[in-house]
Structure 1
Amino acid sequence: MKRFNTKNNFSRQYKTVKKGVNQTSHLLKRGEFGLRSLEYKQVDIKQINSIKKIIQKKIKLVEKRTNVGKIKFWFYMFPNQATTKLSPETRMGKGKGPIVSQCCHVKPGQLLFELSNLSKSKTSEVISCVTNSLSVKTQSLFKSH
């Protein structure tokens, strides 16, 4: 039986996820408004895609109604881990199942997305729609000049 060496072999499907507070990407870098997570959660790719669609739909509506110009949007939730699953009637010792979907591990303090060129009222409207569809507790950020 071959043993995996995690330091030299990076082909493993599962790598350990540190559940600490995010220390690197917790401040606004590009946009004026953003959404930050407050808890650790595993977010599925279906939920990530639905959030992207909601944001893009709201942005298009706002761009049509107002003469603000181009609204910029940065999204930071990337599916980076595979999720596997075996059938429920499988006995133990049959190995790991096939890859079913992908997920993203969201740490507390991590930025989920950023927006720019929007008024505060329109931004709060977009953020409220997104927080209703998210399973993570969030906090909205506003850059002060």
Structure 2
Amino acid sequence: MALMPKRVKHRKSQRGRIRGNATRGNRVVFGDFGLQAMEGGWISSQTIEAGRIAAQQYVRGEGRLYIRIFPHKSVTSIPLETRMGKGKGEPDFWAAVVRPGTVLYEVAGITEAAAKICFARLAHKMPVRVRLVKRDDSK
């Protein structure tokens, strides 16, 4: 089932611009390895769910998967072959706004080789460039 907010104050949101790098949610916190975005963009709730299924099938019983993003933004669209005017379109899908450096998914309880294979499967589904990052326990 695709993710979306239970309630929102306003149904329609402006597009906005993605500027700068992520200052929050840019470290691996829950798991041992993470999938980090290297560029900004929108990730739809369907894409997040597709990534979850792909990772869950690989991880199965031995590991744990954490999803670190949530689609808060409603993206609207006007039907095809509609004339100009008549206002803003209806909400079409929900998307998570991702800045460069945001950790999208994390896994715990599996080896680095297994995490690399698992995240390679996820990387194919993501609309942004991603990389594997390890947990930094130096702090």
TM range (shorter): 0.7 to 0.9
Rounded to whole Å, the distance in 1 between the matches of 2:136 and 2:26 is: 16
Q: For residue 22 of structure 2, what is the aligned residue in structure 1?
A: 22
Listed one character per residue, the Cα deviations across residues 60-92 of structure 1 (whole Å, up to 9, x for unaligned) are 1xx3xxxxx4x2221012111111111233222
* 2:127 matched residue in structure 1: 135
What residue in structure 2 maps to residue 82 of structure 1? 74
1:121 is paired with a residue whose SS is: helix
The residue matched to 1:74 in structure 2 has which SS?
Answer: strand
**Number of the residue aligned with 2:3:** none
- How far residue 18 of structure 1 moved from its aligned partner, in angstroms, is 4.2
CA deviations on 1:98-140 (whole Å, 9 max, x unpaired) are 1111111111000001111111111111011111222211111
Aligned length: 128
Q: What residue identity is the alignment partner of 1:142?
A: K
| TM superposition outliers: structure 1 runs of 4+ over 6 Å | none
Greater C-alpha Rg: 1
Query: Structure 2 counterpart of 1:19, which letter?
Result: R
Percent of aligned pairs with the same amino acid: 21
Question: Which structure 1 residue ranges, 5 or more long, are not aligned?
Answer: 1-9, 64-68
Asked if 1 retains the 8 angstrom alpha-carbon contact of 2:40 and 2:100, the reply is yes
Distance 1:24 1:84 in 2: 27
What is the RMSD of the two structures over their aligned residues, measured on CA atoms?
A: 1.8
TM-score, normalised with respect to structure 1: 0.79
1-structure distance, mates of 2:121, 2:10: 38
Matched, 1:123 2:115: yes
Give deviations 1:4-43, integer Å, cap 9, x for gaps: xxxxxx5362143542210111111111111100001112
Match of 1:50 in 2: 50
Deviation at 1:93, TM superposition (A): 2.2
The range that moved more, 121-130 or 84-93, is 84-93
